[in-house]
Structure 1
Amino acid sequence: MLWLGKILLGMCLLVGVAVSPVKAKADAPQPAITGEFGVAIDAVTGKILYNKNATKQGYPASMTKVLSAIILAEKLKDGEIVTASSQAVKQDPSNQAFLMQSGEQLSKEDALNAMMIKSSNDVTYAVAEKIAGNTKAFAQLMNKKAKEIGAVNSNFVTPNGLHDDRHITTPYDMALIAKEALKFPTVMKAMGAKEAVIHTNKRQVRIVNKSKIHDNPLALGGKTGYTRKAQNTLVEILQKDGKTVIAVVMKTTLAQEYKDIAIMGNFAFNQLNVKNIVKKNQAVDSLKFKDVEVSLLSSQDYSVTFKKGEKPGYKTQIQTFNHPNGFKAGDIVGNVNVIYQGRVIKQIPLKSNKDIIIPVKKEIKEASKNENKQEQGAAHVSTIMMFLISVGVPVAIYVGLIIVRNLRHRKSLGNI
């Protein structure tokens, strides 16, 4: 058996990560935004880079749908069908371009697009019913998921963000939820889509996102929200120069929400350093098996970000897997685990640079041969027995019938 069980653990272990901290200097004053609450975080670590009442509670409105979309991605299989109930179609409409009819059906993928591109309240409600049976049970799933990812100052009641006084979150919690969305490619694709064609069992509809999220070249995706009490809310995931930040504004105006995001995002980018720790196909370690040395190659580029004036604070762990039958060049044989504050925040697959063939031991071959002989012998005996049974039974029946006939014949002669 080939066991690759090597684990290496160290501060900034990979080549080029051990950087000297920049000399600390006074933080630049953060610029003002219009929104009452705002935050920008490092999307890798979750560290707060801009803070205006970041942990103060408010109403998220349709930003809520990002959490509902994550649960949709987790709970439903690809292609699974969502059906609009009579209660779902009664939800206050978020648009007039695509409104569900009772009994209308659409796929998981189309439901996700409707939720993120058109902010469909009826579709989101139908998704909640599909997954949990009712919206109360779905809210329990939402709150459970929120707590798991660290969004501990929130309480979700409605799946679509329609107003309820008990339905609250914070900018920081909402940023953590968006950070979680980065783990789900289908959710990110929908959040970044400008338009799509929705197919139901009754029709085909082209939907378009009329927000200005896509006017921002730095935006990977985002989600708007609005209710009278929440006012305008917005979350955007932004990327620039190898840095990814998440900005959230709550209780702002339609005219200012995108400016607020830009102000916080730019400030956050300027707070960060970025360092590449591994490049695709870089050999990050090697292992020796008998006389063969195998290099462990990174399957991708990966960089880390950290606040200027601070130490990076990352650790890396190289872990290899059990491969009892050997492996081929290009097979995944382990991971580089990137660790921040005791949590694995990224796993980078490692691949082998060559084949390792494990020969079958002689005694195993002999045992296999013996087993085959025994199986063949048993099969031969079984074949003979089946032949005897198939031939012997009819012969026995035939002889029996002759004996019975003779006995009857003798009896009839006696009566004469």
Structure 2
Amino acid sequence: MKKDNKTVIAVVMKSTRGNEYHDVETIGNFGLDHIDVQQMFQKGDTVGETTFYGESVEGTLSKPYVLTKRKGDEAVYTNTPVFNTWQSGKNKIEAGEVIGAYQIKKNGELLTQIPIVSAKEVTHSDPAPMISHDLVRTSSTWWYWLVAGIMLFAYGLYSWMKKRSQRKQVMTLSNEKYTA
């Protein structure tokens, strides 16, 4: 059955021969009257961009998405692009290559994901390896942890030597008492 931009397929089981058509019509009309269909996205819609070795890479949807929901549905639907992180050693992104996923959520829960593909080919010609932001952060603070470790070691050594010196003084005083 068709109405506006909606098509409903109704299946009736265990109906009497005389009522089959009436039952299919009733169920089909109910579906057409209580379902809302929205064309959310078209294939090729731009949904965001990411960077690859400093060059912008536009992401487009690899397929369309139609949202079917009940009329009067008060749910909150959100759409978020989530792009892949690039691995060191990769020097090329092909046009049409999957570079992420467009997440569609209903009330915060993941409903579906649509693959995001690169709109164009991007080639990186610099032979230097890609550096991750996490690697940069940890490698630039190594000296801080080294200094902190040395200071902690020095304090521990100082405390140990001070206690050892106090024990020697106590031993010396107690030995003097017994020898006198």
TM over 0.5: yes
Rg larger in structure: 2
Q: Is contact 1:245-1:268 (8 Å) kept?
A: yes
TM-score in terms of structure 2 length = 0.55
Q: Is contact 2:42-2:65 (8 Å) kept?
A: yes
* Aligned amino acid, residue 327 of structure 1: I
Question: What is the rounded CA distance, in whole Å, between the counterparts of 1:272 and 1:339 in structure 2?
Answer: 19
Q: Is contact 2:101-2:114 (8 Å) kept?
A: yes
**Cα 1:318–1:244 shift into 2, 3 Å:** farther
Question: What is the rounded CA distance, in whole Å, between the counterparts of 2:110 and 2:8 in structure 1?
Answer: 19
- Output one character per residue of 1:134-181: Cα deviation in whole Å (capped at 9) or x when no partner: xxxxxxxxxxxxxxxxxxxxxxxxxxxxxxxxxxxxxxxxxxxxxxxx
User: Are 2:92 and 1:329 aligned?
Assistant: no
2:31 corresponds to which of 252, 265, 268:
268
* Structure 2: stretches of 5+ with no match in the other structure: 130-180
User: Are 2:18 and 1:255 aligned?
Assistant: yes
Question: What is the rounded CA distance, in whole Å, between the counterparts of 1:268 and 1:297 in structure 2?
Answer: 33
Partner of 1:207: none
- Output one character per residue of 1:358-416: Cα deviation in whole Å (capped at 9) or x when no partner: 446358xxxxxxxxxxxxxxxxxxxxxxxxxxxxxxxxxxxxxxxxxxxxxxxxxxxxx
- Output one character per residue of 1:301-356: Cα deviation in whole Å (capped at 9) or x when no partner: 21213333333532323222244324111111112122235553332111101222
Question: What is the rounded CA distance, in whole Å, between the counterparts of 1:279 and 1:318 in structure 2?
Answer: 15
TM-score in terms of structure 1 length = 0.27
* Aligned amino acid, residue 44 of structure 2: N
Shift of residue 296, structure 1, vs aligned partner: 0.8
Shift of residue 284, structure 1, vs aligned partner: 1.1
**Cα 1:242–1:340 shift into 2, 3 Å:** farther
**Cα 1:262–1:338 shift into 2, 3 Å:** farther
Q: 2:18 aligns to what SS in structure 1?
A: coil
The count of residues paired between Structure 1 and Structure 2 equals 126
Question: What is the rounded CA distance, in whole Å, between the counterparts of 2:3 and 2:58 in structure 1?
Answer: 32
> Where in structure 2 are the equivalents of 1:107-118 lying within 5 Å?
none
Of structures 1 and 2, the one scoring higher in RCO (CA 8 A, sep 6+) is 1
- Output one character per residue of 1:242-281: Cα deviation in whole Å (capped at 9) or x when no partner: 5465645443213323431222122211222222221111
Q: Is contact 2:10-2:27 (8 Å) kept?
A: yes
Identity between Structure 1 and Structure 2 (%): 30
Q: Is contact 1:319-1:336 (8 Å) kept?
A: yes
RMSD (Å) for aligned C-alpha atoms: 2.9
* Aligned amino acid, residue 264 of structure 1: I
Q: 2:43 aligns to what SS in structure 1?
A: coil
* Aligned amino acid, residue 41 of structure 2: V
> Where in structure 2 are the equivalents of 1:171-190 lying within 5 Å?
none
1:296 corresponds to which of 47, 53, 59:
59
Q: Is contact 2:96-2:119 (8 Å) kept?
A: yes
Question: What is the rounded CA distance, in whole Å, between the counterparts of 1:276 and 1:344 in structure 2?
Answer: 19
Question: What is the rounded CA distance, in whole Å, between the counterparts of 1:320 and 1:289 in structure 2?
Answer: 11
Partner of 1:357: 123
**Cα 1:329–1:241 shift into 2, 3 Å:** farther
Question: What is the rounded CA distance, in whole Å, between the counterparts of 1:318 and 1:329 in structure 2?
Answer: 18
